[in-house]
Amino acid sequence: MTLVLASSSPRRRDLLARIGVTPSRIESPDIDESQLPGEAPRVYALRLAIAKAQAVARAAGEIVLAGDTTIACGRRILPPADTEEIQRGLLGLLSGRRHQCLSAVCVIAADGTPRTRLSDTIVAFKPLSAAEIDSYVASGEGLGKAGGYAIQGRAEAFVRFLSGSHSGVVGLPLFETRALLLAAGVALG
């Protein structure tokens, strides 16, 4: 069976390789990621994962895998850090606080059946000084990332507590992904 990864994220490719999976094809989905009025973060993450999987053309016999990683503080969904100013604001908000990393996965099986899983990870940052935030922003590491940080890099030193899936915070919860791929008939290496 052919696996299509509906993502342009190199992190998702690397994470799949950890469980012995190499996609046959990679295609970046083009969807509107706007939050719907009153939409809760969990619902939002699952909706986007499904929409990404459905946005990719699927040939007969192909299996599609898509994911979405959403960072939330309470019911507030945090945007990607598209600018350094946004990133500073996000890191200031997360400083000394707990937040949720919701990592949703959708696999559309060869027969067209979509299956989803959601990984809910609690992450707590230590209080960050202005100098730490400035240094991290200057590194360029979290720019463009959900919540303004990349846990697999320098930001891991800010984490004082994590409960859940580390790989989910990176971008693809491997436990949930493996279960969905097996259910869809993908042979894992």
Residue 125 falls inside a structural domain: yes
Determine whether 82 is an active site residue: no
Give the span between the Cα atoms of 180 and 87, in whole angstroms: 33
For residues 50-60, give the mean pLDDT: 95
- For residue 34, is it within any domain? yes
Output the CA torsion sign for 158, 144, 34, 56.
negative
What is the mean pLDDT of the segment spanning 117-146? 96
Predicted confidence (pLDDT) at residue 93 exceeds the cutoff of 70: yes
Tally the domains of the chain: 1
Domain with 136 in it: 2-183
- CATH code, 77: 3.90.950.10
Is the residue at 87 inside a domain?
A: yes
Q: Is residue 150 part of a domain?
A: yes
The one catalytic residue in 32, 68, 82, 134 is 68
Tell whether 120 is covered by a domain: yes
In this model, does residue 189 exceed pLDDT 80?
A: no
61-81 tens-digit pLDDT: 999 999 999 999 989 999 999
Asked if residue 188 is part of any domain, the answer here is no
Domain membership of residue 189 (yes or no) is: no
Q: Which helix (H) or strand (E) holds 136?
A: helix 130-139
How many other C-beta atoms are found inside a 10 Å radius of the C-beta of residue 22? 10
In a domain, residue 106? The reply is yes
Return d(Cα 130, Cα 28) in angstroms, integer: 36
